[in-house]
Structure 1
Amino acid sequence: MHAGEDSAELKFNSRDPVYLQVVRHFKEEIVTGRLQKGQVIPSRREIAGKLKINPNTAQKAYKEMEEQGLIVTEGNSPSRITTDEQVLSLIRSELITDAVEAFVQSIAKIQVPVDELLAIVKSKVERSYKQAAEEEQA
């Protein structure tokens, strides 16, 4: 997340508080490997400028991430992504659960038999993974 690095674009929605969207963005960056455990992250002021958000909002997001154990700030040192494997594992589980819950809510109205649904999901996911791997090799 330093200058010149590719990071996912953050587009804010109007449903959720901005600071929580920033927290989620950091979680996604960690789970996808774009941010590594122990990696120094931009200062609150830098992230406010980069994301075009109020510095108080950035401060609130960082405070939330510290409370969740997502980042660690020691003294005057820059904030870093945690190296705590348990916290990192929980972040991954949380994002997977959120995605599955959103999917289940959206598909529940159709009442697709579970076996049929799982077969469709398996096929789509495998195709998506294969396509991603091919793009990486290109």
Structure 2
Amino acid sequence: MRVERPPKRRRAISLTPLVDVIFLLLLFFMLSSTFTNFGEIDIGAPAGSGGTGVSPKAILVVEGEALKLNGAPERTEKLAAGVQALRERQIDSLLVLVRGETTTQQLVTVLGILRTVPDLQVTIAR
């Protein structure tokens, strides 16, 4: 006596695992991305001799989060007011020295603040 198996039925593909994988990927990319503020600055080409030829009358040292304006410690929030006080004393050129572990974002933040001060020539040096 020969017994035949009943034919196998094909099960429908379940989309639940696919939705779970897509949800996990979405969570991964959302949580692994950075949410920092990026600024945009305009950088002009130097003059033919390699600089503007104007000697700076004030110095701003950027060293990580620490700022020193003409040797005095300065907070980032009060930088615009400090530089504006220099502008009122007819100081129109500023040398920004980048030191230590300063990140590009920290430099862009400082340059964004300095851009708000009218008629200020900024030179960057490392």
- Please give the TM-score of this superposition, normalised by the length of structure 1: 0.28
- Please give the TM-score of this superposition, normalised by the length of structure 2: 0.30
Task: Name whichever structure is richer in strand by fraction.
Answer: 2
More contact order relative to length (CA 8 Å, sep ≥ 6): 2
